[in-house]
Structure 1
């Protein structure tokens, strides 16, 4: 096994790492893309094992990595394909529970170090929940290092039996920002007019339309906002299985809510908003929360998972599932521009404390160093 070095000494091969992704979760895929680019720039050879559609969406090859198509975990050939891809790897780094479990199986009988990053908490009920706990235990007890994106994920890994669990540095994924030449005074009114929010507050929520996001609670709160003058417009950017149910409620109850589907201009939509809303039952390092603070948009979020650590005092936090508390906080903020400005200032300061992409790559490289460089004799 060759020693790791960002610039391999003469006569030594550069470190070869394999990054393993599962179904292409947006947060973990964006993180791997950023990580691959940073590692390649430091002389590390990177192979990304992921479904072909993930490479099309995140362009791992454009970051300088090799891409190997590995089917999703439901495909019986996925472990064999991953085992072949990892044959000459110095180190394997898997992202997410299912990708990590496949990596454990693929590396069985080999001495290749395995690093695991948990980006989110796997959730299930009944027999499937028991199965997920068994998978978690197998993964964390096999991995040399488990990196958790939040402190509660690190604690969970330690309780499950991890030999070494640490807090991961994870930057805001590199999503396109409005160009410097874009004039907000011209851009934002155009966006607000398109959405139907001219002359009324615009409240933005972003995320897939699934039960975890708490959009049923958001619609409950929106009933209260119908009594305001002017009536705020809630815009939800995202797609998912709950769209028919949510749309039916919006129409039946005449709620001031629009579902706009997947959008490529989320940063612009968010920057044009008066408030950002995050109503999830659990989040790790929420991209919406990070983008809201970066864009100086006051954030109202649920006090769950990694949100409190992520935002500090730069957001208004409410209990999950409490529609009344959510509605009340929004009403207060819409009537209190001074409080909104304070949250904007705090958001700017809080965002400055988050890790950069360079810092994230440096942390990961230091872990790789520990696991691949020969240790001095005592």
Structure 2
């Protein structure tokens, strides 16, 4: 990221911002780390309010920001801690629903501008879903600007009454940090070792990454895997992630003798993708999927569900299937494995599509322009 001079005009104090995180979403945490680094390089003072676990994982202080521990819960103690941290801020920027709602409570009665970034939709059913929708509308109508990571999120914010909703430039941050994709030139070195460790020598390897919960569509993935048992050689599906559905999924894998392995949470996603023949994204709801971006960057053909922001994100660089249709998923995978030419075309399209995505510099520049719109000249320090 290219450092530039302070954004503060001569004789004025630096812009003071507070970034608020819930701490549960890896994508938004990585985004805030990248954003903090870029803002600090431009002379902005950044405080990140997030659980201490997020600081350990993402190193906000290493990016030049101050970190203040604020627990994820919305109890009065957490809100009071956030209110104190925001006392001298020129602007507060919250990421995700839980963090944004806490920011709304903490800024109650203050004129401090609030920017909100939606990185994805909240997922719930029944009474909890209705409660979250109420909270979403309150946040959206309170925020000065809502930034959505995909066009569907921007459209929803406008329907919910946002005063100003815009498409956010959200880069795929930290491509050289652990857990993110390796340089494609390293594929040949990484591939044999990783495939051997996963038990995929001499057979196709399909990689899925994400928490083992209902919205990921892994029940559909297991349904599709039944069809792949008839192939020779039989593809191996490897799912990296952890979550509440692990016992249910593992029981199905064993009872139905499916060619699927659950390998738990991993910090070597780059190596997994480097070894893969295909990447699979089977979710019921996605906005700006990190896996989709990493797969295209790594030149790995992607099969993804046609949901949320995925079509806009990948364009014609992935094979899209309807959500909840195991036959469509199974058939598309079979055809891709049998068609090297189609795979090659997806790889080339992926490179071109990835080149259209915003860089970290462009992401910081857009956010900073929003900040400048919302803040007034500041007095001498």
TM-score (norm 2): 0.95
Question: What are the Cα deviations for residues 287-344 of structure 1, in whole angstroms up to 9, with x where unaligned?
Answer: 1000000000000000001000000000000000000000000000000000000000
Range that drifts further, 74-83 or 45-54: 74-83
Counterpart in the other structure of 1:87: 87
Alignment CA distance shift 1:183-1:115 (3 Å)? closer
Instruction: Report the alpha carbon displacement of residue 137 of structure 1 after superposing the two structures with TM.
Output: 1.5
Do residues 350 (structure 1) and 353 (structure 2) align? yes
Map 1:1-378 → 2, pairs under 5 A = 6-175=6-175, 176=177, 183-373=186-376
Find the residue that maps to 1:77 and give its secondary structure: helix
How many Å separate the matches in 1 of 2:188 and 2:229?
28
Contact 1:36 1:60 in 2 (8 A): yes
How many Å separate the matches in 2 of 1:74 and 1:179?
38
Find the residue that maps to 2:76 and give its secondary structure: coil
How many Å separate the matches in 2 of 1:148 and 1:79?
24
Contact 1:36 1:63 in 2 (8 A): yes
How many Å separate the matches in 1 of 2:101 and 2:127?
18
Question: What are the Cα deviations for residues 165-188 of structure 1, in whole angstroms up to 9, with x where unaligned?
Answer: 000010113143566698533321
Instruction: Report the alpha carbon displacement of residue 130 of structure 1 after superposing the two structures with TM.
Output: 1.9
Find the residue that maps to 1:205 and give its secondary structure: strand
Find the residue that maps to 1:347 and give its secondary structure: helix
Find the residue that maps to 1:39 and give its secondary structure: helix
How many Å separate the matches in 1 of 2:164 and 2:311?
24
Any unmatched runs of 5+ in structure 2? none
Alignment CA distance shift 1:93-1:161 (3 Å)? same
How many Å separate the matches in 1 of 2:147 and 2:187?
39
Question: What are the Cα deviations for residues 59-105 of structure 1, in whole angstroms up to 9, with x where unaligned?
Answer: 00000000001111244311100000000000000001111111111
Range that drifts further, 29-38 or 175-184: 175-184
How many Å separate the matches in 1 of 2:37 and 2:323?
37
Instruction: Report the alpha carbon displacement of residue 7 of structure 1 after superposing the two structures with TM.
Output: 3.2
Find the residue that maps to 1:49 and give its secondary structure: strand
How many Å separate the matches in 2 of 1:233 and 1:288?
18
Instruction: Report the alpha carbon displacement of residue 6 of structure 1 after superposing the two structures with TM.
Output: 3.6
Question: What are the Cα deviations for residues 89-146 of structure 1, in whole angstroms up to 9, with x where unaligned?
Answer: 0000000111111111111111100000011111222222221121111111111000
Alignment CA distance shift 1:366-1:202 (3 Å)? same
How many Å separate the matches in 1 of 2:368 and 2:197?
45
Q: How many residue pairs get matched?
A: 371
Alignment CA distance shift 1:240-1:179 (3 Å)? closer
How many Å separate the matches in 2 of 1:281 and 1:180?
30
Range that drifts further, 13-22 or 172-181: 172-181
TM-score (norm 1): 0.95
How many Å separate the matches in 2 of 1:149 and 1:352?
17
Alignment CA distance shift 1:314-1:179 (3 Å)? closer
How many Å separate the matches in 1 of 2:344 and 2:131?
47
Contact 2:190 2:274 in 1 (8 A): no
RMSD of Structure 2 on Structure 1 (CA): 1.6
